Amino acid sequence: MSAGNVLIVCGKSEVAGSMESTLIKEGYYPVSCAHSANEARRQFINTQPDLIIISTPLPDEPGIDLVLDAHEKTGAGIIVIARPDQIPYMQHALESTGAMILPKPINRLTLTQSARFALSVRNSLFQLKNERDSLKKRMEERKLIEKAKWLLVEKGKMSEPEAFRFIQKQAMDLRLPQLQVAEDIIKKYE
């Protein structure tokens, strides 16, 4: 199993290395590390990771801004590892991102289970977004076809069924999608 691109952001190299080897042993690949927020930003812009694990605080910032940037600029699942006293603040600040926030220290089992869960949620959201976009596109196409049909009714003096049949027949005769026929009708009458 390859989970895709995983980015670990942690200021401590030994902790990042331990998480990296754990994830690689579990089949995650490729796994890369960044040791500061700025380095992480450069990496996630260039590589578009599927999962980002951020151990806070980072040497150059507390980490909240990095999570917000990662949420805005990537479609990655995000796991934040924070000190227990920082968790309520992090939860409040990052509520809109859907980031999973875990307390330090984190063990191997929790890391791997959380990674699986975050990727699963990410993949489900990605699939839902694709379905939504597809439905949106189909609705927009349907609106244009309806607009063309009503232009034919108003300006072409056809009945509604005749106008719809005309669009269908033109599409078949010209071997074009109904949408293209509808766009041509709209151009002609507007």
Q: What is the pLDDT of residues 101-119, one digit of tens each?
A: 999 999 999 999 999 888 8
For residues 87, 27, 113, 78, the Cα torsion angle rounded to the nearest 10 degrees is 30
- Structure pTM? 0.74
Q: What is the pLDDT of residues 164-187, one digit of tens each?
A: 999 999 999 999 999 999 999 999
